[in-house]
Amino acid sequence: MGASNALPIMRASDLVNAHQAVHRLLSLAIPMDKFHVSPEAQARTPAEAQDMVTAFPKATISPDDHYRPESNAEIRRMISAGGLAVATPLPVTLHLETQPVGSIHWDFFSRPAVSELGLEIRNKNAYIQIAINSEDVHQETSAPIHTVFIRFRVGDMARAEWLARQVGLQPIGPVECGW
């Protein structure tokens, strides 16, 4: 996938506002052949994990500790059982593949050319992300807010800033290393 950077452009206590900002950014995108969404969300508390299991019955739930031996079905049973069993695999991550636009992580689109900056259409590292209940791109620190990031290729900061301005936003923090 290559190295990418992430520019925070919005922090919102209301997830709907963050979603609306992402949809404004997506209106600038050039869809490619397979425009899809691959959402992921992390649950750190038993209540969050139980809500995820209930809300997304077809999602894969995996422990963040990759050395845990339990399968998706076993993790779901532990979380659904409640009590002490739900805390055993935490934190866990929900994974959905190829979902309709409107979830958490959008990819497979191109960024538009920006003639005034001398920039051509760009495909590589063209992502948009909402870090739900977090201020950082890797969602390692819980927060009561959601952060919208424009993910971009190293050296393409001018385009990321231009994209933010097109939807009435601007950088609100330092660039973070992506994946």
Q: CB neighbours of 156 closer than 8 A, spacing ≥ 6?
A: 119, 122, 125
Alpha-carbon distance 179 to 167, whole Å? 25
Alpha-carbon distance 148 to 89, whole Å? 28
C-beta of residue 36 within 8 angstroms of C-beta of residue 177: no
pLDDT range class, residue 169, cuts 50, 70, 90: very high
Alpha-carbon distance 10 to 142, whole Å? 16
pLDDT in tens, 81-97: 887 777 778 888 877 77
Q: What is the mean pLDDT of the chain?
A: 81
What pTM does this model have?
0.65
pLDDT in tens, 34-86: 555 666 777 888 888 888 788 778 888 888 887 888 888 888 888 888 877 77
Alpha-carbon distance 94 to 88, whole Å? 16
